[in-house]
Amino acid sequence: MFYDLNVPWTNQPELQRTLAFLAELDYNVVALNYTIAGKLPADLTSPIPSPLPFSSPPRLQILRRVTLLLTDPSQNHRLSTLTAVYDLLALRPTTERALQQACQSLDCDVISLDLSVRHPFHFKHKTLSQALQRGVKIEICYGAGMNIGDGATARRNLIANATEIIRATRGKGIVISSEAKRALACRGPWDVINLAAVWGLGQENGREAVGREARAVVVQAEMKRRSFKGVVDIIYGGEKPERAKEDVKKVEKGPNAGKNKRKLDAIEDKQDEVAAEIKPIYTREQKRRAQKARTEAAAGTSGSPAQDANLILNKELLGQNADSATAEHGG
């Protein structure tokens, strides 16, 4: 499966063409991205409706994502409320301090940097590795380098920043997305893999950047929403299967409903009695029974076969001596 986790939420006709083109390029999961800059509003409702107001390819899974521009590290961003509204949460730091805070402590799914501009700081391995250790992925968006016209500067910055990120992360934990506002800016998965190889990522890691690593982002975000503290997820709670319930109803609705019900009650009562009679054997009782069995076995055995043969010979000799003594007294 191929993933594109950054498709901007734009006007509907162009977005519809973009989604259709991504489906033709063999993408399976697409995340529609909504960017929030500045202070969060009081009413956190997603502008991306579910379902979409236009038709989308049936085999394309649509997710909702929000990207928060992170400028002031001291500001309270209420990330937990955003997680409850959207499927994916991404942070876009604009300063070095904001990047350090996002990598160290902020709870998010993806750290997405604007690679079309030249940043006044370097990407350090120590900083980005802290995010990778917490399971947060680093996103590279290639859409800025596909613009026609004045995109030469953005393309040059994209190549330099992507190469530096790949060097700082050692090629691990990277997700590649399009961030394409038009269908013409989208590229197929294998074109993206070749592009990543040109940047120095390698084809194997490039394949994971649009496949396994992106899937890990989606699965981890879903676990955070559904499970308890992102660790425990109850899949089966011991409910009775529907088929068993239907079979019981069929038995009760038959011609011999009363008899069958009495039989079922009798079987259940018998099972309860057997379960009550069976008492658990504790460790001390098991040891006592084992010691008793060993004692009885030792008392019941007469020894080795050689010892048994000696006893038989002794008995025969004693019998012969008794016969000879009787004969002498009689004579």
What are phi and psi for residue 222, nearest 5 degrees? Answer: -70, -40
d(CA 164, CA 123) in angstroms, rounded, equals 7
CA atoms within 13 A on the CB side of 89: 22
CA 46 to chain centre: 26
d(CA 75, CA 90) in angstroms, rounded, equals 16
The SS3 of residue 89 is strand
Give me the pLDDT at residue 276, please.
Answer: 57
Give me the pLDDT at residue 149, please.
Answer: 56
Q: Output the six-digit token pair for 318.
A: 């004693």
Residue that the structure tokens 């004579």 belong to: 331
- Is it true that the peptide bond before 120 is cis, omega within 30 degrees of 0? no
Give me the pLDDT at residue 46, please.
Answer: 86
The sign of the torsion formed by the CA atoms of 182, 188, 194, 197 equals: positive
202-206 contacts at long range (C-beta below 8 A, 24 or more positions apart): 202/171, 205/171, 205/172, 205/174, 206/176
E-assigned strand segments in 256-298: none
Judged by phi (left if over 0) then psi (alpha if -120 to 50, else beta), residue 27 lies in beta
Alpha-carbon separation of residue 189 from 17, 61, 174, 238 (angstroms):
18, 16, 15, 42
Give me the pLDDT at residue 271, please.
Answer: 62
Give me the pLDDT at residue 236, please.
Answer: 59
Mind listing the pLDDT tens digit of every residue in the chain (331 residues)? Answer: 899 999 999 878 889 999 999 999 999 999 999 998 877 777 788 889 888 888 889 899 999 999 999 887 777 567 888 888 899 999 999 989 999 999 998 889 999 999 988 888 889 999 999 999 999 999 999 988 887 555 788 889 999 999 999 999 999 999 999 998 888 889 999 999 999 999 999 889 999 999 999 999 999 998 887 765 556 665 655 565 565 555 555 545 555 544 455 555 666 666 666 555 555 666 777 778 888 888 887 776 545 555 555 555 455 555 555 455 444 444 4
